[in-house]
Amino acid sequence: MPAKPPRAWQKMLSGRRLDLLDPTPVDVEIEDIAHGLSFVARWNGQTSGDFAYSVAEHSLLVEQIYTRMTARPDPRWQLAALLHDAPEYVIGDMISPVKAAVGPDYDALDARLSAAIHIRFGLPATLPANVKRQIKKADRISAWMEATQIAGFSKDEADRFFGAPDHALMTGLVILLRPPMEARASYLHRFDDILEGLS
């Protein structure tokens, strides 16, 4: 008798079953994403403060920076910025050295999940290249802020790893370390605000 294949789906609090190998948009819910991301720690939890710095908080910061970078931001791409790390609600946040060690399989899994998430919320499965570049730039600025403020990097180290940022884009922005339920609520609130702009 052939061996039973390993389970490749995860049951969500919403009741949905998300197949990680073949994710479908119908099994994606924003409440599951917000909940999961609010409990996933950036930097493998190696940050200062009384709470882990969550991927939900990071995503909110990236979306703020992306919006500042864009003269007249399209709500679709603001939503894409907010969702840029959404697959991590099921696969967790891996620091870059671990991603490099895992290799292309991680990227393929991330791409499948991203496509399902994008389609679920009315975005193209694959983002336009210029939008993806701008979101990546905002992501690197966020990483620089996090590295220097809560992850123990010097500014010179952060410049080497993430690039020297445009400090004007960071003016008035702060790194928030909050309980998961507060991060989840803020993520959902921002999602709703962006959706209003789309209607």
Instruction: Report DSSP letters for 155-198, one per residue.
Output: HHHHHHHH----GGGGTT-------HHHHHHHHHHHHHHHHHHH
Assessment of whether the complete model's pTM goes beyond 0.85 = yes
Neighbouring-strand partners of residue 19 = 9
Q: How far apart are CA 130 and CA 113, in angstroms?
A: 21
Proportion of the chain above pLDDT 90, given as a percent: 82
Given a cut of 70, whether residue 45 has pLDDT beyond it is yes
Return mean pLDDT, the chain.
Answer: 93
User: To which residue do tokens 């479908």 refer?
Assistant: 24
The residue among 122, 108, 127, 121 whose CA lies nearest residue 22 is: 108
Mean pLDDT for the stretch of residues 90-117? 82
pLDDT of residue 104: 66
User: Among 76-80, 90-94, 101-105, which stretch is predicted with the lowest mean pLDDT?
Assistant: 101-105
Model confidence pLDDT, tens digit, residues 16-32: 999 988 999 999 999 99
User: Among 16-25, 54-63, 89-98, which stretch is predicted with the lowest mean pLDDT?
Assistant: 89-98
User: Among 6-20, 79-93, 134-148, 154-168, which stretch is predicted with the lowest mean pLDDT?
Assistant: 6-20
Mean pLDDT for the stretch of residues 132-158? 97
Q: Which fold has domain 26-191?
A: Hypothetical protein af1432 (1.10.3210)
Given a cut of 80, whether residue 96 has pLDDT beyond it is no
pLDDT of residue 181: 97
